[in-house]
């Protein structure tokens, strides 16, 4: 059998996934160290205090990956000292309700705990009991917490932090890393939540500059690509374009690298050439965050695909009536052999997509796509959903 050579290493695609935490984080190592230093008392003086830290910074500045790396290191330090520390990372964007949020936390910390039939507050208490019984400490990252507070309200933050604040003379077991694009959400918290929230330390991550992006890309290329498949010139090209069009967003840089590699493979090239990067740029939009789309449920994705297709057909339209999108949605469902949901449910799905900041809805409940080219969104979803029938 003829096997075609790929520019990627066998597990290279995994190394370009947004979930992947690379061994080194160029230009964020110092932040990791500072975070570990700040959080170290959790291990050295276990239970003395519930630590809270807030990380802010615009999209693609490495907030999520830095928190995960910090969690890895903290777990390792604890293990070496014979202490039990669990790191849990919950993206609040992917959790539509209070219950879903708590469920996700429990799932990561104590998968054996039964969650059905309990309310969120009961579950939080069960979590607390679990940590106590196992003499375990938790470092919990609530990622994109601003999003959660905007859409679901603040009370779960209040409850979570109250859990640790109200108990006196027993060890504090839950520590927090909060992540948000900016600190604006602090202004909408009520004084009672704010007093509990009180991050003792705050880190603001600046966007990457061209040289920094170059270092990040160089490391990733070594991990993901076969030797001599991506030249320094290509890395410079991507870094420069990311600064120019992507606001120094490392996610965009890695998306471009991945897309360019896939195009090289598609065309049977032994290496990535500048034209592949240019084509990748055509197909990639810095405002499309793949992780936002990946976490959507199936019918949200199908509806979004229907909207993207309709808008790609109707290039002059800013908004389309939901009836029109519904027709396209029914066609999409047929293509993917899915039972379409009814009108009421479809409205709910559209509202959820709006709350997630992915689509816009005008006062007549017409749907639109603001930031991203419809065709780019369409292609992305088709890749995600597979080819259909």
We find the least distance from the C-beta atom of residue 334 to ligand ATP, in angstroms, to be: 34
Which residues between 322 and 351 bind ligand ATP (CB under 6 A)?
none
Selected from 89, 214, 289, 309, the binder of ligand ATP by CB under 6 A is 289
Residue 89 β-bridge partners: 141
Q: Which is nearer to ligand ATP, 55 or 311 (CB)?
A: 55
CB of 80 to ligand ATP, least distance (A): 25
Number of Cβ atoms within 10 Å of the Cβ of 221: 24
Work out how close the CB of 369 gets to Mg ion at its nearest, in angstroms, rounded to a whole number: 22
Contact pick of 7, 25, 320, 376 for ligand ATP (by CB under 6 A): 25
Q: Say if residues 103 and 123 touch (Cβ distance below 8 Å).
A: yes
Q: Which is nearer to Mg ion, 56 or 64 (CB)?
A: 64
Applying CB under 5 A, does 141 fall inside the site for Mg ion? no
Count residues near ligand ATP (CB under 6 A): 20
368 binds, among ligand ATP, Mg ion, none (CB under 5 to 8 A by kind): none
Q: Which does 246 bind (CB under 5 to 8 A by kind): Mg ion, ligand ATP, none?
A: none
Pick the closer one to ligand ATP by CB: 123 or 288: 288
- Measured from the CB atom, the residue of 20 and 130 that comes closer to ligand ATP is 20
Can residue 162 be called a binding residue for ligand ATP (CB under 6 A)?
no
Stretch that binds ligand ATP, among 22-30, 34-42, 327-335, 352-360 (CB under 6 A): 22-30
Q: Please, which residues bridge with residue 86 across strands?
A: 138
Q: β-strands 320-321, 360-361: how paired?
A: unpaired
Q: Which stretch binds ligand ATP (CB under 6 A): 249-257, 263-271, 341-349, 366-374?
A: 249-257
Q: How far is the CB of 205 from Mg ion (least distance, A)?
A: 10
Over the window 50 to 69, marking each residue x when it contacts Mg ion by CB under 5 A and - when it does not, the resulting string is --------------x-----
Residues paired with 180 in a beta bridge: 56
Instruction: Report if residue 28 touches ligand ATP, rule: CB under 6 A.
Output: yes
Sheet with strand 320-321: strands edge to edge: 320-321, 366-368, 360-361
- When the beta carbons of 123 and 140 are compared against ligand ATP, the nearer one is 140
- Give the x/- contact pattern for ligand ATP in 170-199, rule: CB under 6 A: -----------x------------------
Q: Is 286 near ligand ATP (CB under 6 A)? A: no
| Residue 26 makes contact with ligand ATP by CB under 6 A | yes
Choose, by CB under 6 A, the member of 27, 52, 104, 196 that binds ligand ATP.
Answer: 27
89 binds ligand ATP (CB under 6 A): no
Binding site residues, ligand ATP, CB under 6 A: 18, 22, 25-28, 57, 59-65, 181, 216, 250-251, 254, 289
């Amino acid at each position: 059998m003829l096997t075609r050579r790929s520019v990627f290493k066998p597990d290279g695609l995994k190394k370009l996934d947004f979930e992947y935490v690379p061994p080194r984080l160029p230009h964020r190592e110092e932040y990791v160290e500072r975070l570990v230093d700040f959080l170290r008392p959790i291990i050295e003086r276990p239970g003395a205090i519930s630590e809270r830290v807030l990380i802010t910074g615009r999209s693609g500045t490495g907030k999520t990956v830095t928190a995960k790396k910090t969690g890895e290191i903290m777990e390792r330090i604890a293990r070496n000292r014979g202490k039990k520390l669990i790191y849990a990372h919950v993206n609040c964007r992917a959790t539509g309700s209070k219950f879903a949020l708590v469920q996700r936390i429990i799932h990561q910390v104590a998968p054996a705990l039964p969650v059905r039939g309990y309310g969120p507050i009961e579950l939080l208490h069960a979590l607390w009991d679990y940590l106590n019984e196992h003499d375990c400490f938790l470092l919990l990252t609530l990622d994109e917490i601003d999003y959660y507070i905007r859409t679901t309200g603040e009370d779960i933050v209040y409850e979570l932090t109250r859990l640790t604040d109200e108990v006196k003379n027993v060890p504090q077991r839950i520590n927090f890393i909060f992540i948000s694009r900016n600190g604006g959400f602090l202004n909408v918290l009520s004084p009672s939540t704010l007093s509990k929230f009180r991050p003792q330390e705050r880190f603001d991550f600046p966007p990457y500059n061209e040289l920094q992006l170059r270092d990040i890309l160089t490391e990733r290329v070594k991990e993901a690509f076969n030797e001599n498949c991506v030249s320094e010139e290509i890395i410079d090209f991507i870094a420069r374009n990311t600064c120019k069009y992507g606001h120094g967003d490392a996610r965009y840089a890695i998306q471009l690298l991945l897309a360019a590699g896939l195009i090289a493979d598609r065309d049977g090239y032994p290496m990535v050439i500048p034209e592949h990067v240019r084509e990748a740029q055509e197909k990639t939009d810095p405002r499309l965050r793949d992780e936002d789309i990946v976490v959507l449920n199936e019918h949200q994705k199908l509806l979004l695909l229907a909207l993207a297709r309709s808008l790609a057909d109707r290039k002059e339209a800013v908004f389309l009536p939901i009836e029109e999108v519904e027709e396209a949605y029914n066609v999409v469902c047929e293509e993917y052999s899915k039972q379409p949901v009814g009108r009421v449910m479809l409205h709910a799905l559209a509202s959820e997509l709006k709350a997630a900041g992915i689509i816009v809805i005008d006062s007549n409940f017409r749907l639109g796509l603001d930031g991203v080219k419809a065709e780019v969104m369409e292609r992305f979803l088709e890749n995600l959903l597979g080819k259909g029938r």
